[in-house]
Amino acid sequence: MVHAILAKMRRPQHHGILVALAIGFPLLAPRAALAEDPAAATLIEQGLDLRQSQHDVEALALFEKAQAIAPSPRGQAQVALAQQALGRWVLAEQNLASAIAVSGDAWIESRRPILERAMTVIRAHLGDVEIVGAKEGAVYVDGARVDAPDALTHLRLEVGRRAFELRATGYYPFSRVLDVLPGELVRVEVEQHALLDDGKQAAVNPGPALVPTPIATKADSGRTQRTIGWVVVGGAALFLATGAIGLIERESDAQDFNANCSKNPNSSACNDLYHEGNTAQTVGIIGFVGAGVFGAVSVTLLVTAPSAKSKTTTPVVSFGCAPAWNGGASCAWRGTF
């Protein structure tokens, strides 16, 4: 976050001298006498007012417009300081270096210590990247093309993690993620591999041809589903038979118990008959319940199975069973074929 400390002092013709500090260093140079071009000078004055109210984007636009009208070291320095406030460190360094490189300019000389401290702040946010082995192409940093003339050998980048990419016609793209550190040099060794031409591509062994895997048709899937449905019907029949056997066994044990245990029901033989009858009843109930579940599943499979012909009638089978806890049961099959 940029914190600005603004101080204004009076001078002749009621103009002010404006000084701002950003990140603890002087940022905005004082106002001076009007430049040679009145229009450019007015734009600079308006930009300084905007910077005082922390409207740096709008101020930068006015400074750049003033430079387009009448370039001056003062205007270029104001552009750089506004860019610094916006965190555009690379451009800020370029413009401020050009401004303070001018010798003999009264405005620059009177404020050189302030501008040099601002340059120290700016350079603390920049690092260097040395590129080795790049043959040709365009350099991209964080997806944006870098049009500097020495971009294939050297980059001046903002501190932080940066995505470097080299794109060249006839070569595979080369990319690296760089950790740019303040005041340090990062070295990147580029490897550019040429794309294979048509002849080389033809020489590459394509490997064995792939045999297409047959795709199951609607008729095949319907046939499989119906087959599974009928298998499930068989399972339902087995459960039904198990339930019937269990109930028959239960009836037999009940008759033996009634015939032989009326006088001494607590004897060991009578207890065995009693438990055997309960077990047979449980088996019968499980058998009928399983038959009902399997029957429902089989009906679902047979009813929903796709048909190869729209006029084909799909078998519909239903099964219902209601076991009685006193030993009886009522079961029924219904089907349409």
User: Considering the chain, what is the average pLDDT of its residues?
Assistant: 77
pLDDT over threshold 70, residue 45: yes
- pLDDT for the residue 308: 54
Model pLDDT for residues 17-29, shown as the tens digit of each residue: 333 333 333 344 4
For residue 233, which of 161, 165, 301 has the smallest C-alpha distance?
A: 301
- pLDDT for the residue 12: 33
Identity of the residue numbered 128: D
pLDDT over threshold 60, residue 216: no
User: Residues near 296 by Cβ (< 8 Å), separated by ≥ 6?
Assistant: 319
pLDDT over threshold 50, residue 176: yes
| Cβ–Cβ < 8 Å for 44, 69 | no
Q: Quick one: the chain helix, strand, coil %, rounded to 5?
A: 45, 20, 30
Q: Are strands 185-189 and 144-146 parallel, antiparallel or unpaired?
A: unpaired
pLDDT over threshold 70, residue 79: yes
Q: How far is residue 294's CA from residue 60's CA, in Å, rounded to a whole number?
A: 80
Enter the tokens of residue 316: 């519909």
| Cβ–Cβ < 8 Å for 285, 243 | yes
- pLDDT for the residue 29: 41
- pLDDT for the residue 272: 79
Enter the tokens of residue 257: 């118990």
Long-range contact set of residues 108-111: C-beta below 8 Å, sequence gap at least 24 = 108/73, 108/74, 108/77, 110/32, 111/29, 111/30, 111/77
Helix or strand run (H / E) with residue 81 = helix 73-85
Highest mean pLDDT among 26-30, 185-189, 275-279: 185-189
The average pLDDT across 240-267 equals 79
Range with lowest mean pLDDT among 145-149, 228-232, 302-306: 302-306
From residue 223, alpha-carbon distances to 88, 119, 208, 295 in Å are 70, 81, 33, 19
More confident: 224 or 194: 194
Look at residue 316 and give its three-state secondary structure: strand
Range with lowest mean pLDDT among 14-28, 66-80, 100-114, 230-244: 14-28
For residue 185, which of 233, 271, 126, 119 has the smallest C-alpha distance?
A: 126
pLDDT over threshold 50, residue 15: no
pLDDT over threshold 80, residue 120: yes
- pLDDT for the residue 329: 57
Second CATH level (architecture) for the domain 7-123: Alpha Horseshoe (1.25)
For residue 41, which of 64, 83, 75, 17 has the smallest C-alpha distance?
A: 75
Entry field: residues in the chain: 337
Report the percent of the chain where pLDDT is more than 70: 71
Q: Sorting pLDDT into bands at 50, 70 and 90, what band is 290?
A: confident
Q: Are strands 25-28 and 144-146 parallel, antiparallel or unpaired?
A: unpaired
Q: How far is residue 132's CA from residue 186's CA, in Å, rounded to a whole number?
A: 11
Class of 126-197 per CATH?
A: mainly beta
Q: How far is residue 51's CA from residue 85's CA, in Å, rounded to a whole number?
A: 9
Q: How far is residue 181's CA from residue 187's CA, in Å, rounded to a whole number?
A: 12
Enter the tokens of residue 270: 């009578």
Residue 28 sits at φ, ψ, to 5 deg, of: -105, 120
Q: Sorting pLDDT into bands at 50, 70 and 90, what band is 271?
A: confident
For 162-197, give the DSSP string.
Answer: EEEEEE-TTB--EEEEEEE-TT-EEEEE----BPP-
pLDDT over threshold 80, residue 97: yes
- pLDDT for the residue 101: 95
User: Residues near 329 by Cβ (< 8 Å), separated by ≥ 6?
Assistant: 243, 244, 247, 284, 288, 321, 322, 323
